[in-house]
Structure 1
Amino acid sequence: MKKIGQMILISIAVALTGCASTQKPITYNPEKSRALNLVNAAGIGSTLKDTKLPQDTVNTLMKSDAADLSFALSGFGAPLPGLSGLNTAGLNLLATVLAPEDAAARNSIFGWMPEDFAQGKDPKKAFMNELEKAFEHALADRGFEVIKHYSNDKSILVLSFINDKLKCPSPETITNNQKFCSLTLYVDDYELENPPSFIGKETYPSFHFSAGNINNTRFRFKKNKNSNFNEFEIVESASSYLPDWAFIYLAPKMIEMDNKQKNPVPIVFEKGKALYFVTTE
């Protein structure tokens, strides 16, 4: 009985902390976009597909400001050179095929943290520290005063932010029927495995924070009806402050841009650069 009890405890420990995978690293598929390669490796991309576009259109996408492009694709703002109505329809079609329960229909954060990066600390706490610093920098860059609200659950952190011009009041001054502006960060469990061959080195084991789980590592904005800030630009900026092994996935129509318009297409942010689900014809 004692041995059985020990085996149960070991099984629970493995389930909670993950174990090193012996499988070969996922390799890059050159026929797919980098965005699709990344989300497939992260466990998101079961229903996401690339849109084939002419080379000059793809070049336009890569050179365009991500916020301007998303605003144009949503039907607002001036159309971008080289991006026809048919091209736009093809990109927007990605947003119509996702069921609400699909992982691709949720915003998420994923990555492969090198084992030595945590320096012996709890990997979840180490990842949360990186997310905290990145989003705090992004908010400060846009003139927000940031207040941190730590939870007893170390996997959750709330950042409230204040900017009177953008109608984000201090939590201490709001009335009962108002909401203060905030960002909640959640860090999910991880598994120790080899990272994809196109993420850093193949040899070291990494803590994989997947995006395929229901309780994935994620973020959520809250604001009152009068608040006027661009969530898209905050996330884009935060990505630039993250380590090169961490990525942010934006699901279509799940984050606000200017004038409260929603992002029309899925995007992966890598070090502040927008990656689109497109390949050349």
Structure 2
Amino acid sequence: MKRLAPLTTTILAAALAGCASTPRAYDAEQSRALNLARAGGIYDMDLRDSEDGTRSYSKGILGPLLDFASLATSFDAPLRHLSGTQTFVFNATDIMMTPDKPSARPSLMGWMPASKVTSEDQAYEQYVELVDQAIQQVAKDMALDATKLSNVTTPDIDGHPLMLWSVESAEYGCDAGQCVVAYNIKTPVYWKTPTYIKGGEPESYNIAANHSKKYSRLVFRQAGDQPGFPVDKFYRAISGALPPWMVMYFPPGFVIQEGEPLSYPVMYEQGQQLMFKEPNHE
């Protein structure tokens, strides 16, 4: 047995190296939403396809929902220089929560073509610029007053600051300090791109969702007992304003559609909300 160990280790190392150098192939037995999720590092089995897409998360709606009372004092890096309302909005979001499984976390994933930049640092800056541009465009299209907050201290995630945008809208019940968009971009990694990523190239600077803490996300939050902001419409618009090689995933309870939180997970790609439906039922 002792003499076989080095050989076994060598074979395992070679197998892992092969997996690392090969992009994930499209699985025709899975929905496009699930293929995108798996490609982006959301690999745990709590997320799956179901016949109509509404039973695609094993923990149901209650698992990911937030306890707002306990969250108010649970964060390890509270913001400074925000009003009381703004602080509550931030503390009441899941943006700093890190559940064990990727499928329980809202995630922003992307495969920036390597031809667009020459380094991870450039890729990071480009990702930030693209997200800011998308927020600005959607704010204009939806008649929102959106301001990027530059005078606040925010926690770092993977060495990069959390970004905050304040959103105001009389139509949607967003008074001063009541609505916030929070996002962060992890350090991109040079990697190969799955062939089914729209607008992608063979090599890319990837932001994935598989790390327990160092993952990217974009989350909208509104304070108040009766939120009126069309979150699904906003996410669709943001997705449509981002390049086709960027997608957003949300677990159950994170997307408000027609005034109610969705009890199932969804993916946003190119302005479309994708459900995790078995291919023969799509």
TM-score, reference length from structure 2: 0.68
TM-superposed CA distance for 1:214, in Å, is 2.5
Q: Is the 8 A contact 1:135 1:235 kept in 2?
A: no
Question: For structure 1, which runs of at least 5 residues remain unmatched after alignment?
Answer: 1-20, 53-86, 172-179
The aligned amino acid for 1:138 is V
The residue that corresponds to 1:206 in the other structure is 204
List alignment gaps of at least 5 residues for structure 2.
Answer: 1-18, 65-98
The CA distance in 1 between the partners of 2:235 and 2:201, in whole Å, is 31
Question: Which residue is 1:195 aligned to?
Answer: 193
Aligned to 2:57: 94
Report the count of equivalent residues: 216
1:149/1:160 contact within 8 Å kept: yes
> How many percent of aligned residue pairs carry the same amino acid?
22
Q: How does 1:104-253 map to 2 (within 5 A)?
A: 104-118=103-117, 122-150=122-150, 155-171=161-177, 180-199=178-197, 204-215=202-213, 216-225=215-224, 227-253=227-253
| Counterpart secondary structure, 2:219 | strand
Aligned to 1:56: none
CA contact (8 A) 1:36 1:45 kept: no
Q: 1 or 2, which has the higher helix percentage?
A: 1
The yes-or-no answer on 1:37 pairing with 2:35 is yes
Aligned-CA RMSD value: 2.5
> Which secondary structure state, in structure 1, belongs to the residue aligned with residue 110 of structure 2?
strand
Alpha-carbon distance in structure 2 between the residues aligned to 1:133 and 1:199: 21
8 Å contact kept, 1:156–1:185: yes
Residue in 2 that maps onto 1:175 = none
Q: In the superposition, relative to structure 1, how do residues 95 and 139 fare at CA in structure 2: closer, same or farther (>3 Å)?
A: farther
C-alpha displacement at 1:202, in angstroms?
7.8
Aligned equivalent of 2:81: none
Query: 4+ runs of 1 displaced by more than 6 Å?
Result: none
Partner-residue secondary structure (3-state), 1:274: strand
Relative to structure 1, the CA distance from residue 95 to residue 145 in structure 2 (aligned partners, 3 Å threshold; closer, same or farther) is: farther
The verdict on how the C-alpha distance between 1:202 and 1:128 changes in structure 2, with shifts beyond 3 A counting, is closer
* TM-score in terms of structure 1 length: 0.69
